[in-house]
A and B are shown apart, each in its own frame.
Chain A
Amino acid sequence: MMPIETARAVMIRIFILFLLSGTLYAQVTSERLLHPEREPQNWLSYSGSYSSQRYSTLDQITRDNAKNLELKWVFQSRSLEKFEATPLVVDGVMYLTQPPNDVVALDAKTGRAFWIYEYKPAADARLCCGQVNRGLGILGDTLFMGTIDAHLLAIDAKTGKPIWNVEVGSAKAGYAITHAPLVVKNTVIVGVAGGEYGIRGFVAAYDAATGKEKWKFYTIPGPGETGHDTWEGDSWQHGGAPVWITGSYDPDLNLTYWGVGNPGPDWNGDDREGDNLYSDSVIALDADTGKLKWHFQFTPHDEYDFDAVQIPVLVDTEWEGVPRKLMMWANRNGFFYVLDRVNGKFLWGSPFVKVTWATGLDKNGRPIPAPNTKPTREGVKVYPGNQGATNWFSPSYSPRTKLFYIPTWADYFSVYTKTSTPFQEGRFYLGGLPRSAIPMMVRGAVKTWTEEDGYGSFIAIDPRTGEKKWEFKMNDVTDSGLLTTASDVLFGGGREGHFYALDARDGKVLWKASLGGMVDSGAITFKAGETQYVSVAAGQSLFTFALRN
């Protein structure tokens, strides 16, 4: 008979092995996705959590030691497209997309590849602004990726082999998927891009095991549906309203939240009189049925291309002395909003950059249009410019500092010109063209504009008052997402190719790396072994840093 002490030791060892197998190598269950705070060493979804705060409780890298960050490894993509992907990290393995739609599994400590899956999109895929992909979703041992030819794929996370492949929309008609899927319970949810091609936008949900469609919500109501009368004539059939950034999810309310893009044609609303619901809105959809619970439209009848394609940031905090479920939203149209995410009620809003197209917001949050700011055939100068006060770049909210951090294009304008564009399937459907001194998509080798044309910055605002606590100014604009940590470090970059660690309390620079290419994604942080890492894509590569040993 085994001595009691030995038996106890064996039991303890078995228990430890069980814990190891359970925590280090278990499948990514929907329960794990609900509680990423229990495993801050991982980064399990595009925004790090369903609340999309891009906030990590890791604190090995501090305001004091951030100056000791050094490069640990680089993954060089075999693509010349913009690198907009946010990686996932699951138990020491990083899953990353290489534009447009390859998937790689890397050792998170060394960057060495386990496998690569190379997807060849259809040649007739149509993208307005680069063949990009922003990342993956995961459930169990399966990764999910939307493709630029509007397919949704399930891929075995262990082998890199495709499991199923469904067509979500018609690529040649301009439908595409560029964002990371949102995984809720056993469902994979995606929206479609194509707002410049006259698509009819939608969000659709698929069974994670089979790829079978579960529900579909059109972001433009059809005949007989509420809101259909906000579109003139047959303009609803090709009015855009795409969804090309990942949504958020409130498990208590069972609601998913999605930012909806611009109505089409972008800069000429003459043939689509009305508010054009649900373009430029946030929509709250039941996760199980896709039914619309509420909506809030930021920019009715938009003629500036002010997509509301931003990350819905969910914050539970006191509001005027009462605990409340909030949604915070820094919009491309230049206003910052606080909404009640239970019912979509507008609580507060204010501009965070120079805004001239509206004089303010009314008590319901509806913008008050400024006179003589609609696009004309001759052109009209309006702030913010076409790329917006911010865009799809992830903001961050720190529950420690209680500040909301926004990557901005500040004091930036366009001259908006309107033309006539007939609709033709699969062709650009723009209705005009905005002109700006600042390049819209890509910085060239040298700067070709002046300080009067605008600049980039990270700003920290108090969401209760709109007070700008600090601003970190950059000479060039920024397309970078932001990340905050429990040690009050903020990470972000810009088009100049610099990647910064800032003090989240006051915006002071703690550390900087020059990566030689535009930072077009949001950084993540994770732990492998005992080390905290920070990864960010810049140019055509993904860079991973940690403290010097």
Chain B
Amino acid sequence: MENSFAEQGRWRDIDNLLSRPGNIVGPGFEPSPQLRQEIGEFARVLVVGAGGLGCELLKDLALSGFPNIDVIDMDTIEISNLNRQFLFRLQDVGKSKAEVAAKRVMERVSGVNITPHFCRIEDKEINFYNDFNIIVLGLDSIEARSYINSVACTFLEFDSEDNPIPETIKAMVDGGTEGFKGHARVILPGMTPCFECTIWLFPPQVKYPLCTLAETPRTPAHCIEYAHLIKWSEVHSGKAFDPDDPEHMQWVYTQALKRAELFGIAGVTYSLTQGVVKNIIPAIASTNAIISATCALEALKLVSGCSKTLSNYMTYNGVVGTHIKVADFVRETDCLVCGPGTLIDLDISTTLSQFIEILGQHPKLLVMKSSITHRGTNLYMQSPPILEEMTRPNLHLPLHELMGGVPDDTIHASGMAVRDGKKTSCLRKLRVKFKGLPDGTTEMGTTSVCKELEPDLN
């Protein structure tokens, strides 16, 4: 532990906020000169993504009094990151973003400990995410946001009146940017809308009808997508297109150019080809800074209560003038992800494998290849092979028996679902209720607090 007097001087400005009382503060704010240190001892923050937002977030959180931070990112550093991802230098190209970002921040902000995780978010066990008090998302894809959101929502439990149990709420702060625009939001599963409740906020990705690409191209993008989606597989049978291979990109560009010439269409460039094929979102340092700062401040407010929190969705638009708007969205009470869970009635004789089949056909769920977990116990795992083999014998056993004979309970299924024609990982909470039990038992022991999952906010 460092000299606390000196540290106090160092954190003077933030300590004013944490040690002095105010009347416009969050619920449960207990100002004290020790509050920063207390937060430091209990608060663990996970930053998801170490890119444009992630670099800023790590800096902002480290300088907001969070000494224990983890960061997860599967990507490596590219030259085109350097116009905004200020923790990286030219000589870092090719290295892990999470590792370099963690190292740089620790070098500059003494006393801060950042643990990098150089892997996919799906590679971590679900319980890895339960170790954090707050999860801050700096991502650029809907799929990744959706996955983390569903993971955070699996920790949420409801009491017998379907009210969320406060200790099980895993707070999330999410940021996103595109050019001069961005958003920041606070998600308290069960209290405020989760990512899935307001999925309509994200417009679907532009897709061109295949017949336009094949028969009536009009724009340079049509020519590029023809080369990318149709011509590539015609010519390179079986060889997958790799957007990160410059030779592949060059080939698509050349073909697109040929097609454009054939149809008299102007405007195909190499840069546009990359933009269309990789769906590049323009990004600048200033917008990432604005949005990350908002997210970090909200994270500080959530753990300390030192001010009110954003309720619950802020947008920033600097294209024409500067416009900041806050919208207070409402939860979907029957949300598949943050609600109490989709109710599924089962016969007591239903086996685990029949149950998995039901999930794939259930019109609201359509989850394929599910792995099933009940109260922290793996009932069936699709992978890795060793776990699959271990849990395989369960498949032909009745689910009712595997769940310890309870009349109803919550169960988690993780598998693949199709969104926008793309397969994505998903996690669903289900409420299983058994039919055909002897009278009286169905009324007993409804949802009880899950023992495996410790309350996370003290």
The reply to whether chain A is a binding partner of chain B is no
Binding site for A on B (CB under 8 A): none
